[in-house]
Amino acid sequence: MASDDNKQDELAGTEQPFVQHLVELRDRLIKAAIAVGVALAVLALFPGPAALYDLLAAPLVSTLPAGGKLIATSVISPFLVPLKIMLMAAFLLALPVVLYQVWAFVAPGLYNHEKKLVMPLVVSSTLLFFIGVAFCYFFVFGQVFKFIQGFAPKSISATPDIEAYLDFVLSMFLAFGLAFEVPIVVIVLARMGLVSIEKLKGFRSYFIVVAFVVAAVVTPPDVVSQLALAIPMCILYEIGIWAAQLFIKHTQAPPEEADSSQA
């Protein structure tokens, strides 16, 4: 009987914190969902799903012949495609709140030096992703669409489908957003001790080849988009090496925390 009581006490002692973690996780997810819902409601009122799609399609429409428009080959595409874009925009708009909820859930279990490591990476990776998407929208799209339209024969009337355009835009956004995460990958590899700074510098020439291969695979088969992806990746690789040296220097664990973590 005594052993049974001890087992129950042990279970009670471990169950309560676990349940509390689940409750906190539920609350954090609800807050994140509310943030996305609020952003969705705001975007639905202004500027609205149709205006969001017009904004997204502006780089392509500006390169079409006078009066050129996109077409919808499916009956429900004019409704579903703008709605998808509004959902995507709402999530991106609420992303800072979502990331804060993730951080607030994870941070209590981290040491001070780990907090110094994780929080800057979360913020910088988010900013770099947004910068990559903005670079793609404001610079790459305009140049790529002009390049493509310049090769189109005069006998062809360019009328792209809105669903095909959405798929193209999302794939390009994802490619450039992830490509701009190169410094974060370099910093994490160096900080975890998987690769030394010297090896990263020695890998520089190989990375240039890797960058152009990746650009050739994930972008359309035109020189403009490939150069627009490969060159920033090479520059960001150099920035990552420089940032990794600073990061390693300022995120080392103090002796007392290192001893307690080992214990």
Nearest to 252 by CA among 125, 80, 114, 152: 114
Confidence of residue 8 (pLDDT cuts 50, 70, 90): very low
What's the rounded mean pLDDT across residues 119-125? Answer: 86
Cα 168 to chain centroid, rounded: 17
- The ranges assigned to domains in the chain are 2-262
What's the rounded mean pLDDT across residues 168-191? Answer: 92
Q: What is the CA radius of gyration of the chain?
A: 24
Note the pLDDT of residue 108: 82
Note the pLDDT of residue 5: 52
Q: Which residues contact 172 (CB under 8 A, 6 or more apart)?
A: 136, 140, 141, 219, 225
> For the chain, how many helices (H) and strands (E)?
12, 0
Distance, in Å, from the CA atom of 105 to the CA atom of 81, rounded to the nearest integer, reads 34
Higher-scoring residue by pLDDT: 261, 93: 93
Nearest to 113 by CA among 263, 236, 261: 261
8 A C-beta contact, residue 257 and residue 111: yes
Largest CA distance in the chain: 90
Note the pLDDT of residue 205: 92
Nearest to 124 by CA among 214, 38, 184: 184
Average pLDDT, the chain: 85
- By CB atoms closer than 10 A (0-12, 13-18, 19+), residue 90 is buried
Note the pLDDT of residue 255: 56
What's the rounded mean pLDDT across residues 30-37? Answer: 96
Distance, in Å, from the CA atom of 142 to the CA atom of 132, rounded to the nearest integer, reads 15
132-141 residue pLDDT tens:
999 999 999 9
The one-letter amino acid at 215: A
Helix or strand run (H / E) with residue 108: none
